[in-house]
Amino acid sequence: MRTVKRRKRKPSRKSRGGAAFESSEPTVTLTKGFFINGEYIHYYKVHCNHCDYYIRDRDNKYIVVVSNQKQYLFRLNDGKAVMLPQSETNALVDTIRKKYDPKLPFQFKKILQDQKIIYFTPGECIHYQEFREAKRKLIELNTILRQKCKHLRLSLDYIYNLDVPTDGVVEALFTTSTDELILCLHNEKGCISSIVLKGDNHTIELLSTTGMSYYQKGYNNLLRCVAMILARFISPEVQTITSGAVNPISAITLLKHFGGYLPPHEKNDGFIEFKQRAMFMANKSRTNTVMNRSGYTAKDYQLIHDYLDQENNRLTTLLVHVDIRDDTSAEYEAKFQSFVDKTVCE
């Protein structure tokens, strides 16, 4: 969901026209702060070597930024980052060196954790896309949604740039990277249900989260429909949507409404065995293959529900694939209203 381009170093002296280039020293500024699944997280923008990087912080005290073989120390306090004098940077680095044993390379990470330090070494410059066409389509979908639910709205952005109230809430995969897109359903409190979109030009993986108090309101299914509609707007070459479904309703929705199927994969092996046992107990012929794409019966859906709903196996996951064609966006747009109709307004 991003494009990477190599940094081009620019000279620090003045340009031919007399305008000065920006300072060679990095800067650190707060972009957002909100609760993710109950834990408060700050997102900071590090501007370094003419590139912007975004990092997240839970409860650290310092950020060390390495730039042009020099280390810069910033103190974090209440969402503010203040650059400290070089003398304090040197003192902190000396403290770390005294504690660090080169024979124990993993010890370095432990020292940083104990000292509550983020040690940031910029990599290649990341070009964060704007996804204008996808957001334009989202405006149309929001118009339809808000005709029924005036306090709900959809958004698509990187997590560090989410439009949520100050100190608002975000229900999202906690490990969401700053270069991964997140599709959100908002109410007045913040993002109450989300899908993180990961992958490359040809495959997009959906990772969904909904706040417990918002279960069984149709939010996850609504977002899945929106993700299907936006897929080609986000990545014109995408061929496949994948989703690891833990919830029976999520799996069945993808199979029943979006032409999904269960591909041959180790994540689906357990279901094959489960289905074989069920068919054997019912005195029916056994099968060694995952169900094909030709269609699913009510019995198939019941088996999927029973398999994912086993009391002794809450971590069971089914891998579901959905093929994206040139006409799927229009097809899923036609289904969008039906998902809106099933959505509970907040």
> How confident is the model over 51-75, as pLDDT tens digits?
999 999 988 999 999 998 899 999 9
pLDDT of residue 229: 95
**Tokens of residue 328, six digits:** 């799927």
Q: Is the pLDDT of residue 7 over 90?
A: no
Q: How confident is the model at residue 6 (pLDDT cuts 50, 70, 90)?
A: very low
Q: Which of 6-15, 64-73, 204-213, 258-267 has the lowest mean pLDDT?
A: 6-15
- Dihedral sign for Cα atoms in the order 179, 184, 190, 192: negative
Q: What is the pLDDT of residues 309-329, one digit of tens each?
A: 875 566 788 999 999 988 888
Number of H helices, E strands in the chain: 8, 16
| Distance between CA atoms of residues 148 and 131, nearest Å | 26
Contacts of 259 (CB under 8 A, 6+ apart): 293, 322, 323
User: How many whole angstroms separate alpha carbon 308 and alpha carbon 305?
Assistant: 5
Looking at residue 15, its pLDDT comes to: 37
Q: How far apart are CA 189 and CA 151, in angstroms?
A: 10
Q: With the CA atoms of 196, 198, 203 and 208 taken in that order, what torsion angle do they form, in degrees rounded to the nearest 10?
A: -30
Mean pLDDT, residues 198-224 taken together: 92
Q: Mean pLDDT across the stretch 18-44?
A: 81
Q: What percent of the chain has pLDDT over 70?
A: 88
For the ranges 10-14, 122-126, 232-236, 305-309, the one whose mean pLDDT is highest: 232-236
- Three-state DSSP at 210 gives strand
Q: What is the pLDDT of residue 27?
A: 95
Q: What is the DSSP secondary structure assignment for residue 268, as one 8-state letter?
A: G
Beta bridge partners of 54: 45
The pLDDT score that the predictor gives to residue 293 is 53
To the nearest 10 degrees (0 to 180), the angle between helices 132-148 and 328-341 is 30
Give the C-alpha separation, 202 to 240, whole Å: 7
Question: Residue 262 is which amino acid?
Answer: L
Containing 125, the helix (H) or strand (E) segment is strand 125-127
Quick one: pLDDT at residue 311? 57
Cα-based distances in Å from 279 to 58, 195, 300? 50, 35, 11
- For residue 332, the Cα-to-chain-centroid distance in whole angstroms is 22
Question: Cα-Cα-Cα-Cα dihedral of 198, 317, 183, 137, to 10°?
Answer: 90
Domain 132-341 has CATH 3.40.630.30: yes
Residues in the chain: 346
Locate the domains of the chain by residue range.
Answer: 3-127, 132-341
**What is the percentage of the chain residues whose pLDDT exceeds 90?**
51
Report H helices in the chain.
Answer: 86-99, 107-115, 132-148, 219-234, 248-257, 269-281, 298-308, 328-341
pTM: 0.83
pLDDT, one tens digit per residue, over 215-238 is: 999 999 999 999 999 999 999 999
| Residue 10 pLDDT > 50 | no
pLDDT higher than threshold 90 for residue 291: no
Is it the case that residue 18 has pLDDT exceeding 70?
no
Question: What integer pLDDT is reported at residue 173 of this predicted model?
Answer: 82
